Amino acid sequence: MAKTNVLDENYEQLQKKIQSLNEKWRSEVSEVTLKGMENLAASSPIIPQLEMSINIDQYQTFIEELLQLIGQNNTEITAAAEKIKEIATSDILQKWFTEAIAVNHFYFKNFAEENNLPEWLPIFAAEHAARPYLQAATAELEPRLKEINHNHGCHSCGEPARFAVINKKGKKELTCPRCLHMWEEKKISCAHCGSEDKVVILKVEGDESAEIHACHKCKGYTKVIDTRKMFKKESPTLLDVKSIHLDYIAQEKGFGISDDEGHETH
Ligand SMILES: [Zn+2]
Ligand SMILES: [Zn+2]
């Protein structure tokens, strides 16, 4: 694994395009219908406890647009996209949506195997195309999310908390890359298990604004970027992508290595 220059130019460009596509989708998803609010447990995450109805044709369009974007100049992806178009009935897409919300790696791995598709592709497409709905649902749930005494990770969708900024008030604010929910946490505490005394701060040579908060108790880590030290304001999602070198550093030191249920590796 290269220690420097890990931020490949093409990778960043592609991530930016996926990001713009996501923003376009978000503007097209006006609202989602959430069922099961009355039976919500007091614990988080909330969204996996609810039933979300969406427009499946629209979800299908999102998947096709994404495959078209990442399939440019890549015949393997283009062929896989054709195949998905043939086999994905609305029942299958409904299942994709549900399993994408639950981040069910097992289901998608089997689906890829059975249909002879690249292993990473179905979950990548299904999960990205589900994000605008997650984001719309999270925006609707915001008042409720504020009341919740949350568990660790995103209390809307359950994603592990991997990225935070130090905001204008000097507080550590975590942002979920999937549903865009934001919340503040104690500065020195593990965003995964809550430990306060087992957290170490790793500094990055030559970069004043970046830190890695790594936990010796659960082996999780969070990247923390001090945006007060930056001239240019950028969205947390983009800062997350741009700081991928911090993920390499943390993972090289043995933190955040994904197990079978983790959804860390992409
Ligand atoms: Zn989330
Ligand atoms: Zn921890």
Q: What is the pLDDT of residue 264?
A: 42
Query: Residue range 149-172: average pLDDT?
Result: 85
Q: How far is the CA of 173 from the centre of ligand 1 (A)?
A: 13
Q: What is the pLDDT of residue 5?
A: 43
Q: How far is the CA of 177 from the centre of ligand 1 (A)?
A: 7
Q: Is 85 helix (H, G, I), strand (E, B) or coil?
A: helix
Helix (H) or strand (E) holding 178: none
Q: What is the per-residue pLDDT across 248-260, written as a single tens digit (0 to 9) for each?
A: 899 999 998 644 3
| DSSP 8-class letter at 152 | S
Please check whether residue 181 is in contact with residue 242, taking contact to mean a CB–CB distance below 8 angstroms: no
Q: What is the pLDDT of residue 244?
A: 86
Q: How far is the CA of 151 from the centre of ligand 2 (A)?
A: 12
Query: Residue range 119-148: average pLDDT?
Result: 91
More confident residue, 42 or 111: 111
Range among 9-18, 29-38, 120-129, 185-194 rated most confident: 120-129
User: Counting ligands in written order, which one lies closest to the CA of residue 189?
Assistant: 2
Q: What is the pLDDT of residue 30?
A: 83
Q: Is 256 helix (H, G, I), strand (E, B) or coil?
A: coil
User: Counting ligands in written order, which one lies closest to the CA of residue 217?
Assistant: 2
Q: How far is the CA of 257 from the centre of ligand 1 (A)?
A: 20
- End-to-end Cα distance, the chain: 16
User: What region, left, alpha or beta, does residue 227 occupy, with left being phi > 0 and alpha being psi -120 to 50 degrees?
Assistant: alpha
User: Counting ligands in written order, which one lies closest to the CA of residue 216?
Assistant: 2
| Closest residue by Cα to residue 178 from 218, 210, 136, 211 | 136
**DSSP E strands, 70-206:** 163-166, 172-175, 182-185, 199-204
User: What region, left, alpha or beta, does residue 194 occupy, with left being phi > 0 and alpha being psi -120 to 50 degrees?
Assistant: left
Is residue 3 over pLDDT 60? Answer: no
| DSSP 8-class letter at 163 | E
Query: Residue range 155-176: average pLDDT?
Result: 90
Q: What is the pLDDT of residue 257?
A: 61
How would you class 137 by CB atoms within 10 Å of its CB: exposed for 0-12, middle for 13-18, buried for 19 or more?
A: buried
User: Counting ligands in written order, which one lies closest to the CA of residue 160?
Assistant: 1
Q: What is the pLDDT of residue 225?
A: 93
Q: What is the pLDDT of residue 150?
A: 57
More confident residue, 1 or 199: 199
Q: What is the pLDDT of residue 7?
A: 53
* Domain assignments of the chain as residue spans, ordered by start: 9-147, 163-252
Q: How far is the CA of 189 from the centre of ligand 2 (A)?
A: 8
CA-CA distance, 89 to 85, in Å (whole number)? 8
Q: How far is the CA of 82 from the centre of ligand 1 (A)?
A: 31
User: Counting ligands in written order, which one lies closest to the CA of residue 221?
Assistant: 2
Q: How far is the CA of 117 from the centre of ligand 1 (A)?
A: 28
Mean of pLDDT over the chain = 87
Q: How far is the CA of 143 from the centre of ligand 2 (A)?
A: 27
Q: What is the per-residue pLDDT across 37-88, written as a single tens digit (0 to 9) for each?
A: 888 877 778 898 899 999 999 999 999 999 999 998 889 999 999 999 999 9
User: How does residue 109 score in pLDDT terms, banded at 50, 70 and 90?
Assistant: very high
Q: What is the pLDDT of residue 237?
A: 83
Q: How far is the CA of 72 from the centre of ligand 2 (A)?
A: 40
Q: How far is the CA of 112 from the centre of ligand 1 (A)?
A: 25
Q: What is the per-residue pLDDT across 171-212, written as a single tens digit (0 to 9) for each?
A: 999 998 889 999 998 888 898 888 889 999 999 888 888 999
**DSSP E strands, the chain:** 33-35, 51-53, 163-166, 172-175, 182-185, 199-204, 207-215, 221-226
